[in-house]
Amino acid sequence: MEPEVYRQMGLTDTEFEKIKEILGRAPNYVEVGLFAVMWSEHCGYKHSRPVLQLLPTEAPWVLQGPGENAGIIDIGDGQAVVFKIESHNHPSAIEPFQGAATGVGGIVRDIFAMGARPIAILDSLRFGPLDDPRNRYLMQGVVAGIAFYGNCLGLPTVAGEVYFDPSYSGNPLVNAMAVGIIDQKDIRRGHAAGVGNAAMLVGARTGRDGIHGATFASEELGEASEERRPSVQVGDPFREKLLIEACLDIIKEDLIIGMQDMGAAGLTSSSCEMAARAGTGMEIDVALVPRREEGMTAYEVLLSESQERMLLVPKQGAEARIKAICQHWGLEAVIIGRVTGDGFLRIKEGGQVVAAVPARALTDQCPVYQVERRLPFYLDDLQNRDLSRLPEPADYGQVLRRLLASPNLASKEWVYRQYDYMVRTDTVAGPGGDAAVLRVKGTGKGLALTVDGNGRYSYLDPEAGGAIAVAEAARNLSCVGARPLGITDCLNFGNPEKPEVAWQFYQAVTGMSRACRVLQTPVTGGNVSFYNETEGEAIYPTPVVGMVGLIPDIEKRCGMGWGQEGDVLILVGVTLPEIGGSEYLAVVHGLVAGRPPSLNLEREAAVQETVRQAIASGLVTAAHDCAEGGLAVALAESALAGTVGAVVELAGDLRPDYLLFSESQSRVVLAVPPAARERVLALAREKGVPAAVIGRCGGEQLIVKINGCPMFNLGRGEMEQIWRQSIPALMAR
Amino acid sequence: MLLARIYVTFKPGVLDPQGEAVAGGLKAMGYGGITSVRVGKYLEVQLDLDDRDRAGQQVEEMCRRLLANPVIEEYRYTLEEPAGASREARP
Amino acid sequence: MLLARIYVTFKPGVLDPQGEAVAGGLKAMGYGGITSVRVGKYLEVQLDLDDRDRAGQQVEEMCRRLLANPVIEEYRYTLEEPAGASREARP
Amino acid sequence: MKFGVIVFPGSNCDQDVYHAIGSVLCQPIDSLWHGATDVSGYDCLVLPGGFSYGDYLRAGAIARFAPIMPAVIDFARAGGLVLGICNGFQILLEAGLLPGAMRRNDCLQFRCQWTYLKVENNTTPFTGRFHAGQVLRVPIAHGEGNYYADAETLAELERKHQVVFRYCTPTGEVTPAANPNGSVGNIAGIINQEGNILGLMPHPERCAEEILGGTDGRELFASLVDWWQRGDCLGA
Ligand SMILES: Nc1ncnc2c1ncn2[C@@H]1O[C@H](COP(=O)(O)OP(=O)(O)O)[C@@H](O)[C@H]1O
Ligand SMILES: [Mg+2]
């Protein structure tokens, strides 16, 4: 075989040699294709696997950690929550609408592959600045695509995040998370156990969609990728809705051993992964696969990424019943092969064997690369920039207005009003709060969901950025009264073969890992997206954390809006002079520099514990964490989310801009009725957490004074106007 | 005045869920013998131009930039005087 | 085998929000002289029929019953042999 | 009072309706698969929201030909109570059980938000618990809710008080700014002349419990139950 052939598919010479060694012979063309996709970065995790080992994955309540289609966490009463996040960055850069839509479709399939009923979607998005029409086009398409797919499925998209930064121009990030719920007895895993059992393909016909999509996702975007782009997959949410119902009926009747969706690398990955997990083999006849197009080769059928397909391993004798259920839902179900005992993935076309490789060679023997890690040269200079000599703003009201208008902080309603976030009638708190809250019908419980990440922090210090992503997600859950239980993460980075990116990646995972341990939120799964670069420029390293929490009694939940005149505002936590990496620094001083805020995880845990206990004891009427934009923006957000303003009196010897806009971690503003004030302060003392009364709710204005000196006085109406109109106005350009 | 009639369809091979659903619907309604349905867009654009060449160029460009998504769609169009003759162009 | 090409458009007088948006978009992109844009649907239906009259009847009926909504839309279609000549019909 | 909620392939609010009527109002309710052809024994049929057949071609267009629809049409023509919510409303329009048609929202985007509705007719079986002019708070979630009827039909709808709900401001003014989708006359819901078939775009089943942010929707369902319990007869 000419080296060009396998190189074109993305394999290196040494990888090719290793394949020959494994097989004891030269692979044929189809086999090279199998190895090429399965050993791609996207499927093989060859640059991330050793580093991911650093993440804690266990806790008594974790029923399924990484390695399956999705993670599972026990929520009591025999129920569990199933969740996972995934990136669809590259497809969305090429075709934003379909790219984002099929991203949603894929992650939802991971949830019901475990046997769970999908109940919600979250999305984490990054674009370049909206003054560039290309970025507006991308955002418009991505949001419409998510809406198209999620709404049609009848799944509420309940939370998410959107940030804008030039580093994402040309390489937007589209991470979608799905959440499901399951009775623990119904849990199925992607195992092809039981030699002789059938392998069934259910759902859409196979076309030439996205052949080599996985390889494509493992390359940098550039001129050439325009040419080499695989034919884009088009999503059919209607079919997926039918697929969900059919698969759940099949689970309910206990007809299968395992199932798996066909995502990246399609039939190839689903078959070899299911076999490898069970220690079995699989034999598949591609001639039996229903096609959408004529003249497809075995190679194309194996690598097609046509959407809305599942691979099922039925219990013996259940095939006919499965077909009947599928027929009821208007879906095709076809036996395409069977489970074998020899550990081989054997592909036939008609009677003829066209490929035969050990299944585990594809999944477990993918080479792993330890790239030298090197501190990026930009860091030293950026981190040590002297920020103390920046001029103080003259008009703090104006600064707050500018921050509220900054697309990173402005209302994301333009996005989420396109999402049906209410369908299923479980959304008790939808987008707009610190975390979404879903009730679990038939119980008194609530689930809290959030997704968080700050690429700017990670750029300036990936270790801190990784840790803060976890801490902030947990804090958001704590603010609604939920106990954080576990995370799923999406690690979006540049080219991992570059030592600087390798360093960023390692650092970020280290930071996440540290935070996960202290906050007791193990990692149950996730996704790595490398090669997010355009013309050699990497995006900000962007670890994104999706987190699930539990509210034992949903009546004891909390929102962030102030609603009660006379409530006392208590700031839990302390403000430090930390404007590095802040939105204030970027918006007002045009700088992305300094060190991100420090994070003391023990303090963080204590603050969150205080907040949760105060909420659970019914002492709190509103809670909101201080995140991007600092205390001033947090106060404004609570005023806007509720119905009253406040008068706030801060004291201290920090510069006013630091006091107002520093993004120090581990801070939460609580609104409490006057009668609860002492109990909350006592609770904080007991937990060893600093807490201070900073003001009182009331009126239509947000008035903030420092050491008695008025800083700003803005009306809720004016702030709301600025905050709500910012993104719609930019998008209307 | 010129009238551009523009037809935007999925490229061959690209899944057309809408077409499949319509085909299914027609079959369920009892229409046999339908082997395939593809659904595309049809646009009528009225141009305040008389120069056919310039109009053609403009329409071509509009299709490429806005009306069709070249990643998954292809287009063709005709130009005609509101009353009369037509000419077909393919990209 | 016959190929029906079906064009579904809004009736005159029915406001076409998509057409307006496309017109706005084109203007914003600098295309002057666009007096109106209407967005409709274009369907290609492959029929396993050779009898043009029967096919015509069938297509006519499919349009009336499903493919167009007579409250807001009108339609026309052509029938052609996959290779060849075409014939236009208006309801 | 026995309800049936019809499940088309792609319906996705059927369970929500089931919950609101079955668990909140505690009325008997069955799910009816679109392949069924018999709807006898029900006092009210609900066509729920969702994306029947993906809403491909036009919302509701393909569902209108589902096997169950002839039975639904007979049931409706015989005076049975029929409620179409969102996609269900679209199906009723496509089926010709209600006049008019839906276009894409004028903003060309899907819209999920709370809206205010002015009750224009409180003498229907669906609105007895409301007073005329009352302002309700009910969410919408749709991409094709831009109601259209020609001038003549519209005039007739108005004359016969068939417009039941209009989008309005929180204080009940019917203004263009309160119109989320471009519907003619801010129309959110209409009823047939006989008064037994109601279609509306907003989702009453999404506001039938305090924990979901409102209970105006429950009152709509409760009105139906009141009506039925009184044994009122339509067209009498
Ligand atoms: N893409 C999105 N999809 C859905 N909801 C979103 C999206 N982006 C932002 N939101 C919602 O807007 C609110 C503000 O987002 P964000 O500023 O990221 O919150 P926080 O700082 O509390 O994490 C949150 O409730 C979030 O869920
Ligand atoms: Mg927050």
Share of chain A above pLDDT 90, in %: 91
Q: What is the CA radius of gyration of chain D?
A: 16
Q: Could you tell me if residue C6 is inside a domain?
A: yes
- Domains: count for chain A: 2
Are A205 and A293 part of one and the same domain? yes
Distance CA A591, CA A581 (A): 8
Q: Which residue range forms the structural domain that includes residue D114?
A: 3-230
- Pairing relation of β-strands A446-452 and A542-551? antiparallel
pLDDT of the residue at A213:
59
CA A392 → CA A387, A389, A577, A659, B76, distances in Å?
11, 9, 14, 12, 59
- D142 assigned to active site: no
Are A384 and A308 part of one and the same domain? no
Instruction: For residues D145-171, give the mean pLDDT.
Output: 97
Interface test with B, best of A140, A152, A236, A329 (most B CBs within 10 A): A236
Distance CA D137, CA C82 (A): 55
Q: Residue A706: beta bridge partners?
A: A650, A709
Residue A223 has pLDDT above 70, yes or no: no
- D205 assigned to active site: yes
pLDDT of the residue at A573:
98
Q: How confident is the model at residue A170 (pLDDT cuts 50, 70, 90)?
A: confident
What DSSP string runs through D148-206?
Answer: E--HHHHHHHHHTT-EEEEEE-TTS---GGG-SS--GGGEEEEE-TTS-EEEESS-GGG
Q: How confident is the model at residue B13 (pLDDT cuts 50, 70, 90)?
A: confident
Q: How confident is the model at residue A214 (pLDDT cuts 50, 70, 90)?
A: low
Are A400 and A351 part of one and the same domain? no
For residue A203, is it left (φ>0), alpha (ψ between -120 and 50) or beta? left
- Tens of pLDDT along A42-86? 899 999 999 999 999 999 999 999 989 999 999 999 999 999 999
Q: Could you tell me if residue C11 is inside a domain?
A: yes
Are A141 and A272 part of one and the same domain? yes
Q: Could you tell me if residue C22 is inside a domain?
A: yes
Half-sphere exposure (Cβ direction) of C65: Cα atoms closer than 13 Å:
18
pLDDT of the residue at D232:
66
CB A31 within 8 A of CB A15: no
Are A409 and A357 part of one and the same domain? no
Using DSSP's 3-state secondary structure scheme, residue A397 falls into: helix
Please name which ligand lies nearest the alpha carbon of A157: 1
**Which residues have their alpha-adjacent CB atom under 5 A from ion ligand 2?**
A 434, 476, 625, 627
pLDDT of the residue at B83:
60
Give A482's DSSP letter: P
Tell me how many helices (H) and strands (E) chain B has: 2, 4
- Domains: count for chain D: 1
What DSSP string runs through A600-650?
Answer: -HHHHHHHHHHHHHHHHTT--SEEEE--TTHHHHHHHHHHHHSS--EEEEE
Tell me the residue type at A122: L
Give the CATH number for residue C32. Answer: 3.30.1280.10
Chain B: closest CA distance from residue A94 (Å): 8
What percent of the residues of chain C are helix, what percent strand, and what percent coil, each to the nearest 5?
30, 40, 30
CB A25 within 8 A of CB A146: no
Higher pLDDT, A161 or C89: A161
Q: How confident is the model at residue A231 (pLDDT cuts 50, 70, 90)?
A: low
Q: Could you tell me if residue B54 is inside a domain?
A: yes
Contact D57 B17 (CB under 8 A): no
Contact D141 A154 (CB under 8 A): no
Q: How confident is the model at residue A218 (pLDDT cuts 50, 70, 90)?
A: low
Q: Which of A203, A303, A317 is nearest to A260 (CA)?
A: A203
Q: Could you tell me if residue D235 is inside a domain?
A: no
CB A676 within 8 A of CB A619: yes
pTM over 0.90: yes
Q: Could you tell me if residue A683 is inside a domain?
A: yes
**What residues contact A541, with CB distance under 8 A and at least 6 apart?**
A455, A458, A459, A462, A465, A492, A493, A494, A501, A504, A505, A508
The continuous run of DSSP H or E covering A90 comes out as helix A89-94
Contact B33 C25 (CB under 8 A): no
Q: Could you tell me if residue A312 is inside a domain?
A: yes
Given A363, A392, A427, the domain boundary residue is: A363
Helices A716-731 and A133-153, packing angle to 10 deg:
100
Give the CATH number for residue A170. Answer: 3.90.650.10
Give the CATH number for residue D54. Answer: 3.40.50.880
Q: Could you tell me if residue B88 is inside a domain?
A: no
Ligand 1: residues within 6 Å at CB? Answer: A 123, 125, 157, 159-162, 412, 415-416, 431-434, 452, 476, 627
| Cα angle: D203, vertex D194, D143; to 5 degrees | 30
Whether residue C89 lies within 8 A of chain D, CB to CB, comes out as no
Q: How confident is the model at residue C89 (pLDDT cuts 50, 70, 90)?
A: very low
Q: Could you tell me if residue C87 is inside a domain?
A: no
Are A387 and A355 part of one and the same domain? no
Interface test with A, best of D5, D7, D8, D12 (most A CBs within 10 A): D12
Q: Which residue range forms the structural domain that includes residue A315?
A: 3-363
Q: Which residue range forms the structural domain that includes residue B9?
A: 2-80
- Domains: count for chain B: 1
Closest Cβ–Cβ partner in C13, C17, C69 for D146? C17
Q: Could you tell me if residue B68 is inside a domain?
A: yes
CB D213 within 8 A of CB A430: no
Distance CA A350, CA A125 (A): 45
Given A337, A363, A389, the domain boundary residue is: A363
Q: What is this model's ipTM?
A: 0.93
Distance CA D31, CA A257 (A): 29
Q: Provide φ and ψ at D121, rounded to 5°.
A: -145, 110
pLDDT of the residue at A228:
41
Residue A226 has pLDDT above 60, yes or no: no
Q: Could you tell me if residue C38 is inside a domain?
A: yes
Residue in A121, A161, A422 to alter for ligand 1 test, most ligand atoms within 8 A of Cβ: A161
CA A99 → CA A34, A143, A173, distances in Å?
24, 11, 11
